[in-house]
Amino acid sequence: MFDAREFVLSFFFLSFFLSFFIQMTRLDEWAKYYEKKYPKVGRLVVE
Amino acid sequence: MDLISSLGLVSLTIFLIFMLNWISGPSSRRKAEKPNESGPGESTDSGAAAANPTPTPDRIFTLEELARYDGTHDDGAVEMPCYLSVKGVVYDVSIGREHYGPNGGYSVFAAKDASVVSLLLLLLLLLFFPNGSSSFAASTVDFKMMVQLNFFFLSFPCRRSESPRLILLTVTGITVPSILAR
C-alpha cells in the first residue's frame, strides 16, 4: 500500500543518509571550510 | 510491490540529490574562484600561496591526546580548548565553543577525527534501520522516532545556498531541500 507519510519521511531520511555517504567524497571542501574559519593547531597522527 | 516502490524512491532520491548538487554547487564556486585565477604568464608564488594559505604547525597529535580537547574542564578545573581534526589537520574551534562544546549541537565532531564521525553515523543509521527506510512500519522505529532522527540530522553544520533563486540548504557541503529549515 502506498503511504504518503511514509513516502515523505523516507525521502527526508534517504536524503540525509545519502548526503552522509556523498560527503565522504567531498572532504576537501569540508577542510577548506574549517581552514577559512578556524586556526590550525597541528597534525593528527593515527598509530 | 513494496520492493518496486522502495527502489523507485531510492533512485528518485539519488537523482534529486545529485541534480541539486550539480545545479547549485559548482556554478557558485566557479564565480567565487574567478577573480583569484592567475594568468599563465604570472609568477607561481601567488598560486602556491592560494593553494596553501596558512602552513600547518609542526605539533603532532595522537587520537588519545586529541580526545582531551573537548572543551570540558580538566582535572585542575582549567577549561580546555575545543579541537577537531579534518583530513589529518587539527583545527582550534574554541571560537565556536557554544556549538562545539559539551552541550553544543556539533559536539559529536569535537575532540575527534571529524571526517570519520560521519561514517560512524551511517553505521548508526544502519543499526536503526536494518530493513531499509521505506519499510520502517515493519521495523522497530515508529513515526515519532523517525521525526526525531530527522531533526537530529538537521542539527549538523549547515549554511544557506549562495544562489538566491534556489531555496536550498547545504549540510556539510551537500545540498538538500530546506523544507524543514525555513
The tens-digit pLDDT sequence of chain B (182 residues) is 465 566 666 677 677 766 666 655 545 555 555 555 444 444 444 444 455 567 888 899 988 888 888 888 766 666 788 998 888 899 999 998 888 888 777 787 888 887 777 666 666 666 666 555 555 554 555 556 656 655 555 555 544 444 444 444 444 445 555 444 43
CA–chain centroid gap for B182, Å, is: 19
Strand, helix or coil for residue B71: coil
- Full-model pTM: 0.53
Return the domain boundaries, chain A. Answer: 4-37
Q: How far is B35 from chain A (nearest CA, A)?
A: 17
Q: Predicted ipTM?
A: 0.70
Backbone φ and ψ of A29, nearest 5°: -70, -35
**B53 touches A at CB < 8 Å:** yes
Q: How far is A4 from chain B (nearest CA, A)?
A: 11
**B150 touches A at CB < 8 Å:** yes
Strand, helix or coil for residue B152: helix
User: CATH fold of B58-115, please?
Assistant: Flavocytochrome B2; Chain A, domain 1 (3.10.120)
Amino acid at B27: S
